[in-house]
Chain A
Amino acid sequence: MSENKINLKSAWDLAPSLESTSLINLKKQYELFIGGKWVKPSSNKYFDTNNPATEEKLASIANANAKDVDLAVKAARKAYDTTWSKLSGKERGKYIYRIARIMQERAKELAVVETLDGGKPIRESRDIDIPLAANHFFYYAGWADKLEYAFPNRNPKSLGVAGQITPWNFPLLMAAWKIAPALACGNTVVLKPAETTSLTTLLLAEICEQAGLPDGVVNIVTGAGDTGAEIVNHDGIDKIAFTGSTGVGKIIQKAIAGTDKKATLELGGKAANIVFEDAPLDQAVEGIINGIFFNQGHVCCAGSRLLVQESVYEVVLRKLKDRMESLILGNPLDKNTDIGAINSKEQLDTINHYIKLGKEEGAEIYQPEGKLEKKGYWCKPTLFTGVAQSNRIVQEEIFGPVLAIQTFRTIEEAITKANNTPYGLSAGVWTDKGSKIFNMTSQLRAGIVWANTFNKFDATSPFGGYKESGFGREGGLHGLEAYLSFEN
């Protein structure tokens, strides 16, 4: 059999097709964006942001401390009291539409910077991250003057100042998920991007300037976890929106327990991608690949557990390995690249730790052949077979291109295994039988269920988890609720 196999390894040698970086114009140093102005950090401290594919420095980023966060919160409060809450929904909406439009105009530049700063393939930042981010602003702009229709008889009111903390896996997209609904609902924001990927959020601040957004409506403070903690603990914040790990989410929830701050938490996941014997197997294999290797597996809703019905296990595994052979790992700026760089050294260490753990737990590892660049942070697409439900690589979120494969015989077994984690963010089901799909989708305890597809996102589609994957929804009509207070 193997001698008849098409040699797909030659695909690794496709001629390079690099996206040009000539149209971007990064500054050497980025300040904090507070009250509509670029402000030096009071500590005068900066940190580097690097290209994870080359380990080269891209820019210096201001490190915000308690004093800076306080300034930002006060600027946001002032903007809320004096301008933003006084504007009609229609006028608010028009500002948000402007942001969406300028994002579309600067899309290529944003895509290139996203890829340089975060390591994700240009194909993804160009086709998914940036267009979706613009779509979120466009979608929520239209809600600004229609909130009473979303919540009839409830007299929706804005909350005030929202403190928002975003992760490094979809930097600009997550900023859009947070800022767009907050502004549409009449709130002002103080947002902290993840420290390894601040650049596109800072470009978004530039876009807010270009759009003429009133000073202080959007404030960006850069820094690491301690900057985030200052936001969470600031008395002037009315609402916390956090996307990140379940561990940090729990710390935040505990920190605000004694306050009246509202919170939405979008946390970790360990999604089961379930393939039945009657599934269209080639499509399913594409879905499995997209489910776990999209964005190097740095996806909270990644399909990191594959459950295959025993009768088709061999064939699915063979197809999966074949498909993995053809994945192109390398320069994220190359338009042919499928798998880019791991976001940071720290994350690469975490992933490698889990890969080691998987081997120690007795699972069998598979990685395609091919060399990795010496410079930069890379991880090959990885499969583990022969894993047990109790294995840590089955239970814990790895946040990398590592897939744990299990089998099942009956629907009940698939459901039990799928639901058997503390998480409940997403799940996938592959079968050609409609009634089976709805049986599965109704029994899977997860906020998003993809049937015969995976890792699809949309501005109109609510996203968020069950159980320890957090609470609250982002996106769609339901995403408005987190930024409003109601009479009943």
Chain B
Amino acid sequence: MSRIEVLKTYKMYIGGKFPRTESGIHYPQLDSKGNPIANMCKASRKDFRNTVVEARKAQEPWANRTAYNRSQILYRIAEMLEGRKAQFIEELMQMGTTKKQAENEVFTSIDRLIYYAGWADKYQQISSSVNPVSGAFFNFSMHEPTGVVAVIAPEENGLIGLVSTIAPIIVSGNSCIVLASESKALCSISFAEVINSSDVPGGVINILTGNALELIPHFSTHMDVNSLLYCGNNKKAIQLMKENSVTNLKRIVVKKDIDWMKDENESPYFITKFTEVKTTWHPIEKIGASGSGY
């Protein structure tokens, strides 16, 4: 007698919990032959708005963690993913990727997490500056996280697209809300399970599933989202996002035609795209009548 397999319910990942969509609407995740293999949540505007609240709450405490701590947590995600790589390879294959490609994608994803984990306590050192102003002041510029970043993840990849966008955003202390690839959504929720067991505070990474075109108007107009990353080529959508961004002058970042599997698409400059430069001034006391006080 053959055993009846237990099918997995794929929910979303919001504020460190796994709720269903409030919309009550689902869409089928298909395998390569077009057969439904799972029901994915179709995130609504309200789901998104609830998620922004969670992401906002989590952002400042996350940014206030030490860079060393954030580095270790990113490394921990990589460790957890390494331990569950078989599941991800299987899921990618279920969604139509060949075994070799799937292995490659999972391994690259793990390595990319480690790459960005390493940058946590280093990117400031290559991008900040001490500015020699002409006056008796100590003046320096450094990067701070922009805040809450919404992400439309690449449609083509189930896992590497997710990892390649999440890691550089959170490493500096942002929180993020990611809309996963609609057609390759299985891994996104399994990846949320990895995150959930990796010491990432709830709300720092939030993952929604659903339709990008439906959600872009909400992602781009929300007043408490500081930045929006769009990975894709839809010109109309890009224009709409940029137009909508004026509501609160959201920073819009567009990544077109990127092969996320390539090493050239990991970079510290991708981290600083989601930061703001802050310059601080302080006078230097001049003791004595002449000469440098420093």
Q: A: which residues have CB within 8 A of B?
A: 135, 154, 246, 249-251, 253-254, 256-258, 265, 267, 422, 437, 441-442, 446-453, 456, 458-464, 466-468, 470-471, 473, 476-478, 486, 488
Contacts and interface: CB of A to CB of B under 8 A. Distances in A.
B243 A254 contact: yes
A462 B141 contact: yes
Nearest to B223: A422
Given A449-B279, A473-B277, A488 B267 contact: yes
A467 B278 contact: no
B27 to A, nearest CB: 30
B283 A449 contact: no
B86 to A, nearest CB: 33
B214 interface: no
B248 A253 contact: no
B133 interface: yes
Nearest to A131: B134
B98 interface: no
A488 B263 CA distance: 11
Nearest to A487: B264
A460 B133 contact: yes
A462 B272 CA distance: 15
Nearest to B132: A460
Contacts of B246: 250-251, 253-254
A458 B131 CA distance: 9
A258 B244 CA distance: 12
Contacts of A441: 278, 280
A148 to B, nearest CB: 14
B73 to A, nearest CB: 20
B276 interface: yes
- By CB atoms of chain A within 10 A, which of B131, B144, B243, B265 has the most? B131
A448 B129 contact: no
Given A253-B245, A453-B281, A488 B264 contact: yes
Given A441-B278, A450-B280, A453-B137, 14 more contacts: A246-B249, A253-B249, A257-B245, A449-B280, A450-B281, A451-B280, A452-B283, A456-B137, A458-B134, A461-B279, A462-B131, A467-B226, A467-B248, A477-B129
A473 B235 CA distance: 27
B248 A452 contact: no
Contacts of A451: 280-282
B24 interface: no
A462 B249 contact: no
A447 B278 contact: yes
B239 A154 contact: no
A252 B1 CA distance: 69
B20 interface: no
A488 B266 CA distance: 9
Contacts of B243: 254, 257-258
- By CB atoms of chain B within 10 A, which of A449, A466, A473 has the most? A466
B279 A466 contact: no
Contact of B131 (A254, A453, A461): A461
A12 B50 CA distance: 59
A460 B131 CA distance: 6
A477 B143 CA distance: 13
B122 to A, nearest CB: 14
A488 B271 CA distance: 12
28 contacts: A135-B134, A154-B269, A250-B246, A251-B246, A253-B245, A253-B249, A254-B242, A254-B246, A257-B243, A265-B249, A267-B249, A448-B278, A449-B281, A452-B282, A458-B134, A458-B137, A460-B139, A461-B281, A462-B277, A466-B278, A467-B226, A467-B249, A468-B248, A468-B249, A477-B129, A478-B129, A486-B269, A488-B265
Interface string B170-205: 000000000000000000000000000000000000
Contact of A448 (B133, B249, B281): B281
A144 B132 CA distance: 18
Contacts of A448: 278-281
Contacts of B139: 458, 460-461
A429 B221 CA distance: 33
B83 interface: no
B278 A449 contact: yes
Nearest to A255: B243
Contacts of B245: 253, 257
A458 B249 contact: no
A251 B133 CA distance: 34
- By CB atoms of chain A within 10 A, which of B135, B240, B281 has the most? B281
B249 A250 contact: yes
